[in-house]
Amino acid sequence: MQAEAWADAERKLALADPVALSAIELIYREARLLDDQRYRDWDELWAEGETRYVVPMRREVVDYDATLNFINDDSPMRRRRVDRMTSGHAGAVNAVGRTVRTVSRFAVDRIGDHELRVTSTEIVVAYKQGDHQVWAAELTHHILSADDRPCIRAKIVHLVDAEHTVRTCGFLL
Amino acid sequence: MSIDVAGRTGSDWGSLVAADRVSARVYLDPEIYEAELERIFYKTWNCVGHESEFPERGSFKTRAVGRRPVIVCRDRNDQINVLLNRCRHRGALLCEKPDGAVAGGFTCPYHSWSYALDGRLRGIPYPDGYPRDIDKSRLGLRRLRVETYAGLIFATFDENAEPLAGFLGSARRWIDLFMKQGAGYPVKVQGAFKFRYQANWKIQLENVTDGYHFPLVHRSWMANVDAQTAEMLSFMKDPEAVTYGLENGHSVGIFVPEHVDLNEDDGTEALQDRFGDLVADLQPGLPPERLRRLVRSLHGAGFNLNVFPNLALSMGFIRLLNPVAVDATDNEHMVLGYEGGPEGANRERLRIHEHFQGPFGFGTPDDSEVWARVQRGAAADPDMPILIDRGLNREEMSDEGHPRSHVTDETGMREAYRMWKRLMTDAG
Ligand code: FES
Ligand SMILES: [Fe+2]
């Protein structure tokens, strides 16, 4: 028990660690691109090869493919999502007013030689047609930090109200 | 045809609906919404789920009929109960979890009155404050009348409502056809999206058989799917894509004529390439006809059935609507699968559902957006009518006596408003 806790502590990176900082910087950049609806640029932040972008409906789910999710995108599906969001023909996307989001409460773990797991919170305020909506989620990013350019291998968005009734959404979390 | 759109004196709501138009007030007036709850949602049969959502004794889900919260659960005798989610003592909401399983029943969080899964009051703590002979049998949870058809659970607050079978009428035949998408397996609910949109409930009801909007509102989805799926849903000029007004407000719109009866297969339809991997996986284990039958059912039935007032059976999913305010409606989109069927086939269905439906789907958000636009736009002039006359120039009567027109026409909406008018004007 104690040994395990010790091992965990070893894997945890201080936020001032340059490796941790570059991952956090990436997540801030991502937040900015999503608020600006620059979805093609956002797509560039992702790793080559196998990736996963998930907004699950239950926190305890680990096998996303075996269950229904709000979003369960592999790389090709994410690109199709970007195609839709940038097509100019998606009414919900066109109607999005503005969003501003805050990402915070970072914790960074090293989970592989070149892979970090970053957990954080995300609060999005979305304004449209006289109406402010709040979206709140806990994020888990898996960041590859092999070369000098860190990139996203996976992103899981746990909405606080995932099991309840949510609004339909024309932007990304 | 004239319509007294200014007529809002008393409760003369019938004057707001004519055969070819309705007053925009039916979307906008909070008083009409309140009357709809009383006269429609608390009088007719509402669908509250599917039996497969309650696999074991003690399985429950909390839902609502109109604005009233209910618990749907399976009891120890395997009966499905629909109970008003409200303690008989001083009114606390009994259960706030969206779903789950309980061993014995529900205990109130306030003074711990406890109720069995069939609503019976089982226990009152510190009973000395009540007469020794207190009649617990009169203090059970309020139970709604429940009947099922083809696994669909319906409930009503009205003890005098006509039997479900009669209410469904010829919609039963379409429900039977819809369930054939199980391809030999029992149909099961695999999961559900729950979302709210900012518009009156009838705007979505209308949309269920609205083929007219599909290639326009769903352009980004059509451009996003494979060519074969887009072709399957290219019905705008297909003369076989028709819609029927049934009775009691029900209607059906056929979008994929070759998938109306999934048991019928002339062998000419090519299986979609997108399912190639699944076919390769299943080929060794399944006889070719069974495989074909299964793969042809992956998109669900080839039609949308509207069951007035709150149920739609839409291709591969069940949709429940619930009016929470005059301008807000909750929706559930429950994706279907094959009970005991191949895992790969169930996963294909999950992915199809995620692609179009739900709060982050490639289709649903665009639908919700235009419905909210109707709500806001209609308010520009409540007395200006909403037109539901599309297709009257080409509507015919079918042999069974149902109006039939092209699926891009508004035949289904006319049927729904006929029923609306009947319920909103009948005494009681
Ligand atoms: S309100 Fe439920 S036990 Fe008192
Ligand atoms: Fe639609």
Condensed to tens digits (0 to 9), the pLDDT of residues B132-175 reads 999 999 999 999 999 999 999 999 999 999 999 999 999 999 99
Condensed to tens digits (0 to 9), the pLDDT of residues B232-288 reads 999 999 999 999 999 999 999 999 999 999 999 999 999 999 999 999 999 999 999
**CA of B52: how far to CAs of A33, B28, B190, B216, in Å?**
43, 37, 9, 35
**CA of B71: how far to CAs of B100, B141, B200, B218, B275, in Å?**
11, 10, 24, 35, 38
Q: Which residue has the tokens 């319509």?
A: B3
Q: Which residue has the tokens 């407000």?
A: B249
Round the average pLDDT of chain B to a whole number and report it: 95
The rounded distance, in Å, linking the Cα atoms of B258 and B153 is: 28
Q: For residue A148, what pLDDT is reported?
A: 74
Alpha helices, DSSP H only, in B152-287? 164-168, 171-179, 201-207, 214-217, 219-222, 227-232, 276-282
Q: For residue A10, what pLDDT is reported?
A: 57
Q: Is B223 on the interface with A (CB under 8 A)?
A: yes
Strands laid side by side in the B121-123 sheet: B105-107, B114-116, B121-123
Cβ <8 Å between B354 and A71 = yes
Strand partners for A112? A115
Q: Which ligand is closest in space to the CA of residue B209?
A: 2
Chain B: closest CA distance from residue A74 (Å): 11
Q: Which residue has the tokens 């640029």?
A: A41
Chain B: closest CA distance from residue A22 (Å): 30
Q: Is B227 on the interface with A (CB under 8 A)?
A: no
Residues contacting B270, CB < 8 A, separation 6+:
B228
In a mutational test of the pocket of ligand 1, which residue from B108, B115, B124, B130 has the highest number of ligand atoms less than 8 Å from its CB?
B108
C-beta of residue B24 within 8 angstroms of C-beta of residue B3:
no
Better-scored residue on pLDDT, B8 or B63: B63
Strand partners for B148? B153
Q: Which residue has the tokens 């039963």?
A: B172
Give the residues surrounding ligand 1 with Cβ less than 6 Å away. B 87, 89-92, 108, 110-111, 113
Residue type, B216: L
Condensed to tens digits (0 to 9), the pLDDT of residues A64-92 reads 999 999 999 999 999 999 999 999 999 99
Q: How far apart are the first and last CA of chain A?
A: 36
- Encode A74-94: b = buried (16+ Cβ within 10 Å), e = exposed: ebebbebbbbbbbeebbbbbe
Q: Is B335 on the interface with A (CB under 8 A)?
A: yes
Cβ <8 Å between A68 and B370 = no
Cβ <8 Å between A66 and B347 = yes
All residues of chain B having their beta carbon less than 8 Å from the beta carbon of residue A87 are 219-220, 223
Q: For each of chain A's 173 residues, which pLDDT tens digit applies? A: 344 554 555 589 999 999 999 999 999 999 999 999 999 999 999 999 999 999 999 999 999 999 999 999 999 999 999 999 999 999 999 988 899 999 999 999 999 989 999 999 999 999 998 889 999 999 999 999 877 789 999 999 999 999 999 999 999 99
The rounded distance, in Å, linking the Cα atoms of A76 and B226 is: 13
Q: Which domains can be identified in chain A, with CATH numbers? A: 2-159 (3.10.450.50)
| Structure ipTM over 0.85, yes or no | yes
The rounded distance, in Å, linking the Cα atoms of B210 and B373 is: 16
Chains A and B form CB pairs within 8 A to the count of 93
The rounded distance, in Å, linking the Cα atoms of B363 and B355 is: 8
**Which of B134, B139, B114 lies closest to B125 in space, CA to CA?**
B114
Chain A: closest CA distance from residue B127 (Å): 37
Q: Which residue has the tokens 């039609």?
A: B303
Q: Which domains can be identified in chain B, with CATH numbers? A: 48-149 (2.102.10.10), 170-423 (3.90.380.10)
Taking CA atoms only, the protein residue closest to ligand 1 atom 4 is B111
DSSP, collapsed to helix, strand or coil, labels residue B213 as coil
Residue B209 CA to ligand 2 center (angstroms) comes to: 9
Give the helix/strand (H/E) hosting B253. Answer: strand B251-254
Tokens of B423: 């319920």
The residue of B369, B371, B374, B376 whose CB has the most chain A CBs within 10 angstroms, and thus the best one to mutate to test that interface, is B369
Q: Is B330 on the interface with A (CB under 8 A)?
A: yes
